[in-house]
Amino acid sequence: MIPLKDTIPSREKPFMTWFIIIANVLVFLFQVSLPPEAAQEFVYRYGFIPEKFSRALSYGLITGISYSIWPIICSMFMHGSWMHLISNMWSLWLFGDNVEDRVGHFRFLIFYLLSGFSAAYTHWFFNANSLVAVVGASGAIAGVMGAYFLMFPLSSIVTLIPIGFIPLFVNIPAVFYLGLWFLSQVSSGILELFGPVFGSGIAWWAHIGGFLFGMLAINFFKKKYRRYNNFFDDEIFYYRYY
């Protein structure tokens, strides 16, 4: 399934979503411009490595958290391949504009970064001794998806389902689409605890942690009810019941 667009229009230009996408693209272009060995060193130096964080924590919680801030921020803007970058930025483009619309530009950036931190720490909890550098915006984007899941239950995702050479376009309810995605991350994360699984290079628990943070924290970032005079159906549902 390839998500193409959603059915919720934006009210304002998603400047912060654009900024995050541009920043990710520029960082990746810099990565691919480096020689192979330098590129690997760049990832190892600036990516988030759970084992290094564990060692920093041995000197105290404040030391560990202080150490982790810069690597986690850097890792959110780095990617391992063109497909990694494109899939993440497409998801951010698809879901980010609506969430930014409802929380405001600056608060969206804070929410996005905090989602990334939650994702990184969740990944560390289940992979504390891993020496593999974690890179990618997917954990932070999962937080955006979690917020979208809660805020827009009546939205639909226009999805392309290729059946052989025949393109089939289907409107899938966002609750079902994102709910199924989240369950797939949970199942894969649980299976990975018992051994390697297909796609074991994916930080499943980072996605889970980011998504849950997005659901739980978005209520603290949303604009106040009185700031809205006209509502889409989804907004009425969200602001009345959340």
Tell me how far apart the alpha carbons of residues 123 and 68 are, in angstroms, rounded to a whole number. Answer: 13
Tokens at residue 202, please? Answer: 């994916």
pLDDT the model gives residue 229: 47
pLDDT the model gives residue 169: 85
Q: Do 111 and 221 meet the contact criterion of CB atoms below 8 Å apart?
A: yes
Q: pLDDT tens-digit profile of 136-160?
A: 999 999 999 999 999 888 888 988 8
Q: Do 223 and 102 meet the contact criterion of CB atoms below 8 Å apart?
A: yes
| C-alpha distances in Å from residue 160, one per residue of 6, 84, 166 | 12, 19, 10
Q: pLDDT tens-digit profile of 104-137?
A: 999 999 999 999 999 999 999 999 988 999 999 9
Which superfamily is assigned to 2-240 in CATH? Rhomboid-like (1.20.1540.10)
Strand, helix or coil for residue 121: helix
Q: pLDDT tens-digit profile of 42-64?
A: 999 999 999 999 999 988 888 88
Confidence band for 40, pLDDT divided at 50, 70 and 90 = very high
Tokens at residue 68, please? Answer: 């982790």
Q: Where are the domains of the chain?
A: 2-240
